[in-house]
C-alpha cells in the first residue's frame, strides 16, 4: 500500500509559461509535487536526477517535442514505466497516431477539462503505466495522410488512448450542447 504521506511527483514539460502555470496550479492544489521543464532535453536531464511518477508533455516544443521525449522515455530501461500524458491543441488524427506510435499512455486535448485530467492523473498515480509486453508480433503499420505510422502492438495502450480520446470528444460534445441549450 502506498504511503499517504508521499506525494506523487509530476513533471510538466511545456514551453508556454501560461499553460505550465495553469497545469502546475491545478496539480499542486490537489496535493501533487510538481516541477516544470521548458523542453524535452531539460526534462530528460531532470528525470536523470529524480524520476517523476507521471510526465505531462506538450507535443509542440523547441529542441525536443513531446513525441520525441516520449520515445526517449519509453526506450530507457530506468524510465520506461513512467506514464506519459501528451498535451496538444491539435485535433488531427495524424497527431493521435503519432502519440500512439511514441508510446504515450494518454493524450489530452487543450483546453483540458480539469475534472477529467485530475481523475486520469489520480488513476495513473495508483496504477502506473501499462506493462509493455513483447508479443513477438510486428508493429501495426498504419498509413494516414501519406505518412506511415508504426504502432507497437500493445492492446492495453491502444485501448487506453482510444478510450481517453473518445472520452474527451464526448465531454466536448456535452459542453457544446449545454452551451447551446443554456446560452449565457
**pLDDT tens column, 153-182:** 666 666 666 666 667 666 677 776 777 777
Q: What is the pLDDT of residue 32?
A: 96
Question: What contacts 181, CB < 8 A, 6 or more positions away?
Answer: none
Q: What is the pLDDT of residue 8?
A: 94
Q: What is the pLDDT of residue 153?
A: 60
Look up residue 146 and give its three cell numbers.
501519406
**What is the phi-psi region of residue 41: left when phi exceeds 0, alpha when psi lies from -120 to 50, beta otherwise?**
alpha
**What is the phi-psi region of residue 132: left when phi exceeds 0, alpha when psi lies from -120 to 50, beta otherwise?**
beta
Place of cell 495553469: 22
Instruction: Band the pLDDT of 131: cuts 50, 70, 90.
Output: very low
As a CATH number, domain 9-181 is 3.40.50.2300
Count of CA atoms in the C-beta half-sphere (13 A) of 184: 5
Amino acid at each position: 500500500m502506498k504511503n499517504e504521506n508521499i506525494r506523487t511527483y509530476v513533471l510538466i514539460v511545456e514551453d508556454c509559461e501560461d499553460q505550465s502555470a495553469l497545469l502546475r496550479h491545478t496539480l499542486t492544489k490537489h496535493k501533487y509535487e510538481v516541477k516544470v521543464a521548458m523542453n524535452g532535453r531539460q526534462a530528460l536531464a531532470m528525470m536523470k536526477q529524480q524520476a517523476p511518477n507521471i510526465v505531462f508533455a506538450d507535443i509542440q516544443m523547441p529542441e525536443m517535442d513531446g513525441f520525441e521525449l516520449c520515445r526517449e522515455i519509453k526506450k530507457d530501461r530506468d524510465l520506461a514505466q513512467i506514464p506519459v500524458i501528451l498535451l496538444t491543441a491539435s485535433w488531427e488524427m495524424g497527431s493521435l497516431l503519432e502519440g500512439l506510435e511514441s508510446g504515450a499512455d494518454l493524450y489530452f486535448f487543450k483546453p483540458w477539462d480539469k475534472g477529467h485530467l485530475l481523475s486520469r492523473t489520480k488513476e495513473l498515480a495508483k496504477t502506473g503505466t501499462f506493462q509493455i509486453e513483447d508479443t513477438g508480433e510486428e508493429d501495426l503499420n498504419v498509413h494516414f495522410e501519406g505518412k506511415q505510422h508504426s504502432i507497437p502492438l500493445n492492446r492495453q495502450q491502444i485501448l487506453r488512448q482510444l478510450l481517453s480520446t473518445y472520452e474527451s470528444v464526448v465531454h466536448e460534445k456535452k459542453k457544446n450542447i449545454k452551451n447551446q441549450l443554456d446560452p449565457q
